[in-house]
Amino acid sequence: MSVLVGKKAPEFVTKAVVNGEEIVDNFSLQQYRGEKYVIFFFYPKDFTFVCPTELHAFQAKLNDFKSRDCEIVACSTDTEQSHWGWLQVSKDHGGIQGITYPIVADTNKTVAMNYGVLNGEYGYNESDEMVATEQMIAYRGLFLIDKEGVVRHQIVNDLPLGRNVDEALRYLDALRHFEQHGEVCPANWSEGQDAMKETHDGVAEYLANH
């Protein structure tokens, strides 16, 4: 499992479904460089149980992210046809109809591998046949990428553990606050609360008053 914080986000060009219906061949995060933050998150499988709750939760907050110049992009190791088919199924029937942000098809699993979230490894058995140690699907990884393409936050959950979308929004707020004001954000900070200057005196003053 790699730590990408502080490094350029791995680049890729692959197929994706955008706007809930259109399959594109050359989707890349490069289109957002210099203009948008990106929340890039992985989920394990289409047509499962926890995954649609996460995708719908991000959709419900999509305008909140966009108002902060942030795009949401999802990814799994399923095909673009599988994504498209799932998008045609209503929420009441376990589908993700209504999702409008891009869903990347990492069919060859290289995107998940480069981001360090691929569950399992390939190897060889005693007969020299290729085998997989686990399901070769993505963990629930999430990466906050700044406008210059640098990963500023990452979190990786095991397969059964769904994420908190409000927490992803809080990290985005913290990054934007730091960039705009030069102040660092303490534990449990949220937008509108006091932050701290990156100096000894500033930290001491903050602690004395709280």
> What's the CA dihedral at 146, 150, 153, 157 to 10 degrees?
110
Give the catalytic positions in this structure. Answer: 51
By the 10 Å C-beta count (0-12 exposed, 13-18 middle, 19+ buried), 57 is classed as: middle
Answer yes or no: are the C-beta atoms of 84 and 176 closer than 8 Å. Answer: no
- Burial environment of residue 123 by CB neighbours within 10 A (0 to 12, 13 to 18, 19 or more): exposed
Query: What would you report as the CA-atom Rg of the chain, rounded to the nearest whole angstrom?
Result: 19
